[in-house]
A = this chain, B = another copy of it.
């Protein structure tokens, strides 16, 4: 079973999950991206995944349009003892939690930007429902929702899917992000993300999308070229507390941002990560959920590793200008 180990210097947690080394990887070697015939996420292959936890039915009322299943090669599993134990000078705990896969569509090649707004909204509504269900277990402290798209972003299967990992502790960078936001509010009197929304709308140069309820920007200190964030305009610390009626506007913003990234970047790969409060914590005034999309233009060089210091060769203002003009970035 997976084990979670704590680094004694940073306090960061690492999952040691040997079984995951066995998982298939379409992108490794010669595997075809376009081959739905042996894709475990395609219709007709339902027996190759663990059983559905949640299913949406399509317009014909009988075929599925979205499935949530357990990951066959989970990073964390439901069994095990809670609490951390000492291992000499170190600490570890059993890898308790869950690792779910959201198969976003039955269509192997229907990528996020090709879907309708209501199809994308159904994915976000599913995330909300799953988090609300998962957080009923008080042992689960954090639910991470993310999507890897493309070879350079570490995606192992091409069929459109996202992942939900629930875990017995909040990851260190989430804690630091919330602490940083709390310090900002103590000093400046408001939520830093609310201030970012206000300042970026006024400043305009980094805005790549806006509707009644959401704003898409290339953030001021972008770590990655064409990094894009989507923020709700209304303050809300927990993603799962959002009004489900707003998922349409969220979906429209995601569709537009990913669409612009595909136009501006050759052979786009990205990681999309939903940043939100730990699920058992109460709502707070200083933290604000949001989505971070990190395109992987080139491999991250050693300089960034373990230092938290990034070099980005495209300014966010240039990235926003190219995205809004529909211009392709030349490597």
Contacts and interface: CB of A to CB of B under 8 A. Distances in A.
Interface string A1-29: 00101111111111111111100010010
Interface of A: 3, 5-21, 25, 28, 75, 87-90, 144, 146-148, 151-155, 163, 165, 167, 171-174, 176-177, 180-181, 184, 188, 192-193, 195-196, 199, 203, 219-223, 225, 271-273, 275, 292, 294, 296, 298-303, 305-316, 318, 331
A194 to B, nearest CB: 11
Nearest to A225: B21
A322 B98 CA distance: 30
Contacts of A316: 16
B14 A310 contact: yes
B220 A331 contact: no
Given A144-B307, A273-B302, A318 B154 contact: no
A306 B192 CA distance: 17
24 contacts: A7-B220, A8-B180, A8-B220, A8-B221, A9-B177, A10-B177, A10-B308, A12-B309, A16-B315, A16-B316, A17-B311, A18-B313, A20-B311, A20-B313, A21-B313, A21-B314, A21-B331, A25-B298, A75-B303, A87-B220, A146-B302, A146-B303, A296-B299, A300-B300
B154 A184 contact: no
B171 A308 contact: yes
Given A28-B331, A153-B302, A174-B308, 5 more contacts: A9-B177, A14-B310, A18-B313, A294-B302, A296-B299
Contacts of A21: 225, 313-314, 331
A11 B180 contact: yes
Contacts of A312: 14-17
Contacts of A152: 299
* Listed residue (A8, A18, A148) with the most chain B CB atoms within 10 angstroms of its CB: A8
Contacts of A147: 302
A210 to B, nearest CB: 18
A11 to B, nearest CB: 6
B273 A154 contact: no
8 pairs of A and B residues whose beta carbons are closest in the complex:
A271-B302, A173-B308, A154-B301, A171-B309, A21-B313, A7-B221, A172-B308, A154-B299
A320 B237 CA distance: 43
Contact of A302 (B13, B154, B307, B314): B154
B144 A309 contact: yes
A154 B5 contact: no
B273 A222 contact: no
Contacts of A146: 302-303
Contacts of A15: 309-312
A187 to B, nearest CB: 10
B172 A5 contact: no
Contact of A292 (B151, B220, B301, B306): B306
